Every structure is written in structure tokens, then in C-alpha cells.
Amino acid sequence: MKKVETYLNQKISEKGCIHIALIDPDKCDPAQAPNMATEAKKVGTDAFMVGGSTSLGGEFVDNLIRGLKSGADLPTILFPGSLFGISKFADAVWFMSVLNSTNSYYITGAQAIGSRMVKAYNVEAIPLGYIIISPGGTAGFISQVNAVPYDKPEAAAIYALAAQYMGMRFVYLERGSGVDLPITPTMVKIVKKLVNESKIVVGGGIRTKEQAREIAQAGADAIVTGTVIEEKGIGGSLREIIRGIEEGVHARQA
Ligand code: 1GP
């Protein structure tokens, strides 16, 4: 049963674009997690992603997820930077392939090795094509990508369409955690024009209400923010970003 995927799809069709809060086990004390989760839910976050390219794994991920779950009944989705990022306490895992990696380990190798653990833990696997746009941040460096140029949206779009044709129901356009600026709304529009089935997730460098509004208006189905929460806290960032998403969806429908 695809419980989390069904939930995400329902929320996307209700809201037009959802918000997912990315929490890095390196940067969040599990003792703070319950309160953080309660606050994030209060301002309208729809789910949590847990992980990061250079993150700690094992019990650090376990404890963080348990903390988040005790604070809010929202799905926790693993965003593993490595095999250490798999936790039996998560509701789901983005079963992701770095489509523009130059190293097959990041396209299918780690996935093959991790697959039995995901099954044994009974964590829902959600197929996701991960496309890294220049500069790509740490994710791009670690997964050895041939990054899509920032100003070549058509190149991102053909990777996204290939992901759809390969059966990946979600496509993630990643600019890199903590980068200066997110991908352009034009890139989102051009991807959406070509990809009509897979849901489009956008992340990397989104820090302001305006950026969230433009990306939602361009057609993103989900927006992920991590760094801004670390920099400004839930209260200082998420309420405005989620308001920006709502305004963007509204403008899209107008
Ligand atoms: C990183 O896309 C996510 O993988 C979120 O990026 O940390 O810049 O919000 P930020």
C-alpha cells in the first residue's frame, strides 16, 4: 500500500503545491525535533524529509525521526545521502536515482545494495528521478554529476521526461542545498510543459517568500526548504514561504 505517496498526491491536488521541510540529522538536535515538528505543522508544512549528502546516519537518523513523529503526525520521508541514511522509523524513502551522475553507483548501484534493507524495514519506496542543476552544491560534488547548466532548462526537461518514461513518479530538480539562488521559474515551466505525469519537486537555495511564490506559480508540485529553517528557524521562515507558495498557486490558477 502506497500510503505516503497517496497522501502526497492528495495534498498536491488539494493545495496545488505542497511544502516539505528538510531536516538534516547533522544540524538538528533530536531533543528539539518534537517542538520543531509541531511548529512546522502549525504553519502548514505537509511532510518532513530527513537526510543530506554528508549527513550522519544510523541512530542519528532514527532519533531525529522519532522526535519529529512525536511532535506531529506528518509523514517522514528519507532523503538518504548514502546507505547509512536508511531508518526503520521512517514512513517512506525517496528511492532516488541521480540521473545525471557520471558514476553508475549513484544511478543504480547504491539503490541495488540498499533495496533489501528498505524491504526488510518495510519502508515505503517512492521512485524519484533526481536531477542536479549547476552549481549542484554538495549533492552534485558527492554524486559526481554532469550538472545541468543553470540557464539550459531544456536539458533539465529532457532528463525529467526520461524519468517519467522510466516510471519515476516524482522528479526532483535540485540546485544544491544552501546555494545562493534557486533554479529559475523558467526552468520549472519548461519542465512542466514536457512532463505531464510525474510530480515536480524543487529544492536548493529557496529562502524567500517571493522565490517560493515564483516557483509555485511556474508549476512546481512540491517545494523543499532546509537551509532557511536552519538559518532562521521555523517561525522566522516557513510561515512566509508557505504563504508564498499559496500565492503562487493562486496566481497560477488566475
Ligand atoms: C537540498 O533541495 C534541498 O537537497 C533543500 O535545499 O537547504 O537550500 O533549502 P536548501
Percentage of the chain surpassing pLDDT 90?
92
**Residues in Cβ contact with 164 at an 8 Å cutoff, skipping those fewer than 6 apart:** 129, 171, 195, 196, 197, 198
CA 20 to chain centre: 7
Q: Each residue of 130-186: pLDDT tens digit? A: 999 999 999 999 999 999 999 999 999 999 999 999 999 999 999 999 999 999 999
Q: What share of the chain is helix, strand, coil (3-state, %, to 5)?
A: 45, 20, 35
pLDDT of res. 253: 83
* C-alpha dihedral sign at 228, 53, 12, 195: positive
Pocket test of ligand 1: the residue of 98, 177, 208 to mutate, having most ligand atoms within 8 Å of its CB, is 177
C-alpha cell at 231: 538559518
pLDDT of res. 56: 86
Q: Each residue of 57-76: pLDDT tens digit? A: 889 999 999 999 999 999 99
Task: Taking residues 47-55, report their average pLDDT.
Answer: 91
Pocket of ligand 1 (CB under 6 A): 22, 139, 174, 177-178, 203-206, 224-228
Which three-class secondary structure state does DSSP give residue 11?
helix
Q: pLDDT tier at 51 (50, 70, 90 boundaries)?
A: very high
C-alpha 75 to ligand 1 mean position (Å): 18
In 3D space, the residue among 100, 205, 249 whose CA is nearest the CA of residue 160 turns out to be 100
In 3D space, the residue among 144, 216, 157 whose CA is nearest the CA of residue 182 turns out to be 216
CA 165 to chain centre: 20
pLDDT of res. 116: 96
Atom number of ligand 1 nearest to Cα 206: 9
Specify the residue for cell string 520543531. 36
C-alpha span between 148 and 249 (Å, rounded): 26
Average pLDDT across the chain, whole number: 96
pLDDT of res. 236: 83
Percentage of the chain surpassing pLDDT 70?
100
Ramachandran angles phi, psi of 72, nearest 5°: -160, 145
pLDDT of res. 228: 94
Task: Taking residues 46-54, report their average pLDDT.
Answer: 93
Task: Decide if domain 3-253 falls under CATH 3.40.50.720.
Answer: no
C-alpha cell at 196: 505531464
Q: Each residue of 174-211: pLDDT tens digit? A: 999 999 999 999 999 999 999 999 999 999 999 999 99
pLDDT of res. 161: 98
C-alpha cell at 110: 547504491
pLDDT of res. 1: 66
C-alpha cell at 144: 559526481
C-alpha 134 to ligand 1 mean position (Å): 13
In 3D space, the residue among 121, 48, 127 whose CA is nearest the CA of residue 86 turns out to be 121
Please list the alpha-helical segments (H only) found in the chain: 3-15, 33-43, 59-71, 104, 110-120, 137-142, 153-165, 185-194, 209-217, 227-232, 238-253
C-alpha span between 235 and 240 (Å, rounded): 9
Q: pLDDT tier at 38 (50, 70, 90 boundaries)?
A: very high
Q: pLDDT tier at 54 (50, 70, 90 boundaries)?
A: confident
- Of all protein residues, the one whose alpha carbon is nearest to atom 2 of ligand 1 is 203
